[in-house]
Structures are given as structure tokens and as C-alpha cells.
Structure 1
Amino acid sequence: MADCVGVDLDKRTCTVDGCDLPCRARGYCNRHYLRFRRFGDPLYAAQRPGVAECSIQDCGRDAKVKGWCWTHYGRWRRTGDPLKVIELQPRPSQPCDVSTCPQLARAKGLCNTHYSRLVRTGTAEERGGRRECSVGECPRIHRARGYCAMHLQRVYKYGEPGPAFPLAADGLPRRGNNGYVLLTIEGRRVAEHRLVMERALGRRLRADENVHHVNGNKGDNRIENLELWSTWQPSGQRVTDKVRWAEELLRQYAPELLHSQPISARS
């Protein structure tokens, strides 16, 4: 094999004679490096074409990793010696903790049947039927470990199931991506500052109206910090158009300022 030490990194080739492929690791190209990792020899496949056998004498099994079969490779992984036989410790013949079960215990004092039932339903005793979530006031169907799917996900993520209702339930705030506080009211997602203004006005906001935060804090939705703005504008710049727009604006927000006769422009 040729030596590639001292050669520029981008010009190094495989150290196997006759192979001009670029180096990947340990002086080998990708193909010979994979052979080296699997069989312990970069030329192993070329020396023994077809299905290779385990390198342990009289084994006869197919080679899988580093020239060994799965049995000898597993021994090497656990003990460092592929020839060392691992003595398995006999399992204690303890009966299942369920009094009526004649099977032997496999995990947590339970047999396979009752242990799998414990994982699925949260109890080894109960069998069949549909159970509800163990979180109080949660009407959802149990899925695993005594919880429904929603509370089970919270346990995995936060370590506790949390309240019975979804975090996006009616009245519970959630900060949106734009910084505004959002609420879910009767299935409708609304911004809290708009809802506060609508309740103060006693009506729904029009399409040309928006709510401005005086101090710039989008989370401060006190009515004292909110202003009603109108984005409606006239369609032109003629005097008559401006007068009509002003008349409509007074009719919407200050009808008491209107005279008994409609305001009209003088020609």
C-alpha cells in the first residue's frame, strides 16, 4: 500500500494499491474503509468473494461485522474477546404479583401479560373496556400510563400532566408570533386588545378600525392603554369628497356634533 502522509489533504488518494479514489478515513477510500470497518481488512471482500464466513475457526456462520458473526461480535462487544462464552444468569422463578396469575414474573414483579397491560392502561388488574384519563375532570379516553394522549404528551415534555383542559381552552391567553395576546372565545381566536375594545364599545370592531397600544406594550391590554384608530380614508382629494368623508366620520363617532341639517359643501 502506498503512503499518503505529507500529501495535501485535497490530493490524497486511497492507500490500497491500484485504487486512485480519494481518501475518506485512515488512508482508505470510502469502499475500502467500509470493508475495514466491517471485516477488519480493506481487502477482505476481494480475498473471499461471495458470502464470507466468520473468521473464528469452525464457526461456519456468515460474517457480519469485523469478520465475525453476530454471536462472536456480540461477545467481543461485551467482553473484548470473541471467544469468551457469556454465562447467562438464570432468571429467578418468582411468580407474577397478580394472585390469580400462574405465570412467572418478567418485569416489575409482573408477567409479560400483566406488565404490558400496566404499560397500556396504567393498571395490571383491570382488563377490557375503555377507561378515562386519570386527570380529574378530563373526559378523554385513556391511552397509556393512566393518561389520555394530551396529558401523556405533557408528561413526556414537561414532567407533569397539567390541567384537565387544553392550554388553548376558552379564556386562556397565548402569545402569538406577532407579540399580541390571543384568546379562544367560543371557538373563535381573537386578539385580547381587540376584545377589550369591543367590550368597552359594546359592539364588534369594523373592518376599517384597529386598536393601538399607547405605551407600545402589546401585552398591556388595559382599556386605559388602548386607543381606537380608524384607517378609513376618502376616495379623493376634492373638497366635496372631504366634506362627505367628514360628515360620515361625525355620523359614526360623534353624531351629537351634527347640525339638524346635513352638512353640505358650498360651491
Structure 2
Amino acid sequence: MELGRRCIVNTCERSVKALGYCSAHYERFKKGSGLKPDKPIRKSADSITDEQLQDAAKRTKSWRGLLNYLEFSTMSGARKAIQNRVKKLGVDISHFPVQNPRVKCLIEGCTELNHSKGYCSRHYGFLKRNGDPLKTIVTGKKRYDSSGYIRLVVMVTMS
């Protein structure tokens, strides 16, 4: 990193890393996605005003829509901070869909949480492969012994 020099993008005040760009603009340059000098390098939840949050909540129908409207990634680290701020402000989000809480698997005696269609990931896998979440799976693997004979190793998976 070259000390004392600033990024060649007019609006950027960060120090140079390579080819005259700061680390963020250099990454954009390498990816070929364009420098986009008007787009902030990293957006934080603090950069959004309360009025913007209230307006976005009125205009959108879900948390994902809210984040997209504010130009945040849904995987952004700011997601939780924005959700907390919206809740603190007392903004009406009653029109946002409520995600169903995860409950236990539908199979009696299974203590795992549901993954899909009410089954845990193990039983859902059985359902996809066999059409029945309780069906026993018998699989085999070929192994060659030292004499060159093929041995079939049978594995039984029970639910």
C-alpha cells in the first residue's frame, strides 16, 4: 500500500493499494464490474435515516423488499441492525409476512427440527429418495479384497 496517495476515483478519500485505486475500487476494477464512484464502498445501517426507514417500510411488503429498497444485500451484516432499528422506531410492519417458527420433525420420536415439509433433513432426504420418510435404505459398495475378489459391503440405514 502506498502511503500518502489517495485513490484516483474523484470522490474516494482512501489510500492507494494498486494501480492508483484503493482496495475496494481495485477489487471492482479486477472484477470488471465498473468503478461506480457514486456507489458507496460499504454501506452501513447508520447511513440510513429514520425517515428513510419509515418510508421504505411503507413502500415494501417484506424484510427482503425493505433491504433491496435501501440497496442492501439480504446477506448484509447490516440486516439485523436495520431490523432492530425498524422495530425500535415502532414502524408498522404488520403487513410483512411472518416466518413460521421451526418445530420438531413430524416423525414420532425424532427430536430434530424440521427442515422442509415438516421433516428434519434426514427424513426429508428419505422422502425425496424413496417417497417415504420411514423407508429403510439398503445400499452396497464394491470392495476388492487382496485376492482380487469383489466383496459387497451392505449398509443398512434405518430411520
Instruction: Please classify the TM superposition score into its range, dividing by the shorter chain length.
Output: 0.3 to 0.5
TM-score by length of 1: 0.26
Q: Quick check: which has more Rg, 1 or 2?
A: 1
TM-score by length of 2: 0.38
- Which structure dedicates a bigger proportion of its chain to strand? 2
The structure, 1 or 2, with the larger RCO (C-alpha pairs under 8 Å, 6+ apart) is 2
